[in-house]
């Protein structure tokens, strides 16, 4: 393995690849597969952990084991390895536990932890940026602090703080006070440039959190240059980021969004049958998804099939009946039409975050069972809407083990994956990872139009 920086991205759901292209995605950790994917200087490998769907202790345990294996790869090859803990640009996820566990894993394997953990949740294409240490999201045509958005009301990962220093204090239950969280301001980045970034990072130590302010890719590229200069002086950094930072860190140039012709050419090259109708699977429950479903119903000719969540949660015997009936309906419709399979709208919450997470897992498991059983109907393309949903459908329902990111349907949003290691009936079938919290109200309908054979 030649010496030169590589980038390993531990992605807590499959939506982190939305700003990159032509990179490998490994759906469950396999050391040999990751070594192969990271064999060339400048290579990038996404490892899907799906830890956003797990309780905190399990998420930490997975990060500990995968991190240890990655640090062993770095030690054994002598090739520097950038580690990104990629998560939601609206701050939902096991932020503290995952970052600190990776820090501990590095200390165990390499004898030294990270000097700092850079918190970079920016996702510019979706309107998420940080200024004055406050993280914003564009909502209804205006920039709103994320603590005031619907995402902050998440049943499992809810929070109040838009200021990222305060957010770290809140999510650590006060263990990490806001005044102990460092920051790279926009003035530091734009007036001081990479040299000032490097000097500030040179003073970090002990795995402290550093908020990275950025409103565009130029800011992130300056930060990356500063990080690299500090690393050349012996510093080591972990990055907890949204999608945009991965592109800047790995030095990936943007490309135009995919056309229908691009998708169908890749599908033909992969040997997939070009005749099948499409399957859209929606598990996300954010209001943005509801609006997208409504518009897709208006614009697209589809067979709509609802998976009734209330009946799923009433007991195992009825659950099995509901799943079997839903699968029968989907399998019957697919040969003649595109199918929109969605969970009943409205959020069902548990008594506490753990209970809400358990409900989400039950719903996702039901979707997996339905899609797994209808694979014999040979859908020609699949869209999965929602982070947990898109992971579970890819891995458990379709059996995808490795894929390549072809690109995105929209600028920097909604990745198309081409399965390369999967069951024969899945290889080459376009698989669209569609986060619940991105795109305007027409995005789902636009995606469906792009994937139909007659669109090119």
| SS3 track for 152-175 | HHCCCCCCCCCEHHHHHHHHCCCC
Co-location of 329 and 353 in the same domain = yes
Range of the domain at 441: 260-455
Question: Is residue 187 included in any domain, yes or no?
Answer: yes
Asked whether residue 211 falls in the same domain as residue 307, the answer is no
Distance separating alpha carbons of residues 362 and 320, to the nearest angstrom: 12
79 domain residue, yes or no: yes
Is 1 contained in some domain? no
**One domain, residues 30 and 62:** yes
Looking at the structure, tell me whether residues 244 and 301 fall in a common domain. Answer: no
DSSP 8-state code for residue 186: H
Residue 23, domain member (yes or no): yes
**What is the pLDDT tens value at each position of the chain, 456 positions in all?**
345 789 999 999 888 898 899 999 999 888 988 888 898 999 999 999 989 989 999 999 999 999 999 999 999 889 899 999 999 999 999 999 999 999 999 999 999 999 999 999 999 999 999 999 999 999 989 999 999 999 999 988 999 999 999 999 999 999 999 999 999 999 999 999 999 999 999 999 999 999 999 999 999 999 999 999 999 999 999 999 999 999 999 999 999 999 999 998 877 776 666 567 999 999 877 788 889 999 999 999 999 999 988 888 887 778 899 999 999 999 999 999 999 999 886 666 676 887 877 887 888 899 999 999 999 898 999 999 988 889 899 999 999 999 999 999 999 999 999 999 999 999 999 999 998 888 899 999 999 999 986 644
Cα pseudo-dihedral 98, 99, 101, 104, rounded to 10: 170
What is the CATH number for 419? Answer: 3.40.980.20
What residues form DSSP beta bridges with 384?
Answer: 281, 433
Residues 294 and 350 in one domain: yes
Collect all residues with Cβ–Cβ distance below 8 Å to 316 and sequence separation of at least 6: none
Q: What three-state secondary structure class fits 430?
A: coil
Identify the domain boundary among 183, 216, 250: 250
Please check whether residue 53 lies inside any domain of the structure. Answer: yes
Please tell me whether residues 151 and 235 are part of one structural domain.
yes
Tokens of 434: 């569609």
Q: Residue 307: inside a domain, yes or no?
A: yes
Q: Are residues 191 and 225 in the same domain?
A: yes
**Residues 67, 95 within the same domain:** yes
Would residue 255 count as lying in a domain?
no
Domain end (from 202, 228, 250)? 250
**155 & 279 share domain:** no
> 131: domain CATH number?
3.40.50.10840
Instruction: Please state whether 71 falls in left (phi above 0), alpha (psi between -120 and 50) or beta.
Output: alpha
Domain stops at, among 250, 271, 295: 250
How far is residue 116's CA from residue 182's CA, in Å, rounded to a whole number? 9
Domain identity same for 204 and 183: yes
The first and second tokens of residue 419, run together, are 């399965």
Residues 286 and 409 in one domain: yes
**Who's near 338: CB < 8 A, 6+ residues apart?**
277, 278, 279, 280, 300, 301, 302, 303, 448, 452
- Residue 330 in domain: yes
Same domain, 266 and 238: no
The answer to pTM > 0.75 is yes
When divided into structural domains, the chain yields a total of 2
> 389, 341, 340: which is closest to 14 by C-alpha?
389
């Amino acid at each position: 393995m030649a010496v030169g920086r590589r980038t390993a991205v531990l992605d807590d759901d499959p939506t982190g690849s939305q700003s990159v292209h032509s990179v490998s995605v490994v759906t469950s950790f396999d050391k040999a597969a990751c070594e192969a994917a990271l064999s060339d200087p400048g290579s990038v490998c996404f490892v899907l952990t799906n830890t956003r769907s797990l309780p905190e202790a399990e998420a930490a345990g997975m990060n500990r084991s995968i991190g240890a294996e990655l640090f062993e790869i770095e030690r054994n090859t002598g090739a520097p390895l950038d580690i990104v803990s990629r998560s939601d640009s609206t701050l939902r996820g096991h932020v503290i536990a995952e970052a600190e566990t990776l820090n501990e894993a590095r200390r165990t394997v390499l004898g030294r932890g990270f000097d700092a953990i850079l918190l970079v949740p920016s996702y510019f294409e979706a309107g998420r940026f940080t200024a004055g240490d406050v993280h914003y999201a564009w909502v209804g045509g205006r920039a709103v602090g994320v603590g005031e958005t619907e995402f902050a009301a998440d049943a499992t990962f809810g929070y109040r703080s838009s200021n990222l220093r305060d957010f770290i204090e809140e999510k650590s239950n006060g263990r990490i006070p806001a005044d102990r969280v460092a920051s790279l301001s926009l003035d530091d980045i734009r007036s001081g440039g990479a040299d000032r970034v490097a000097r500030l990072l040179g003073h970090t130590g002990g795995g402290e959190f550093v908020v990275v302010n950025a409103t565009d890719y130029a800011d992130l590229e300056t930060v990356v240059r500063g990080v690299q200069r500090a690393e050349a002086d012996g510093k080591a950094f972990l990055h907890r980021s949204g999608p945009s930072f991965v592109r800047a860190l790995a030095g990936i140039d943007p490309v135009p969004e995919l056309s229908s012709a691009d998708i169908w050419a890749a599908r033909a090259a992969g040997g997939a049958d070009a005749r099948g109708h499409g399957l859209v699977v929606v598990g996300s429950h954010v209001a943005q998804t509801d609006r997208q479903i409504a518009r897709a119903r208006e614009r697209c000719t589809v067979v709509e099939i609802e998976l009734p969540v209330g009946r799923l949660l009433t007991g195992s015997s009825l659950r099995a009946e509901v799943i079997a009936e839903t699968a029968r309906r989907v399998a019957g419709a697919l040969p003649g039409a595109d199918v929109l399979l969605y969970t009943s709208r409205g959020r069902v919450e548990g008594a506490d975050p753990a209970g809400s997470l358990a409900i989400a897992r039950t719903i996702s498991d039901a979707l997996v069972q339905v899609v797994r059983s209808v694979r014999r109907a040979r859908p020609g393309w699949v869209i999965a809407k929602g982070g947990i949903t898109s992971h579970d459908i890819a891995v458990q329902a379709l059996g995808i083990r490795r894929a390549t990111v072809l690109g995105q349907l929209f600028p920097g949003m909604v990745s198309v994956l081409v399965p390369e290691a999967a069951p024969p009936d899945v290889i080459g079938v376009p698989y669209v990872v569609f986060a619940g919290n991105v795109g305007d109200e027409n995005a789902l309908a636009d995606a469906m139009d792009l994937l139909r054979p007659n669109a090119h």
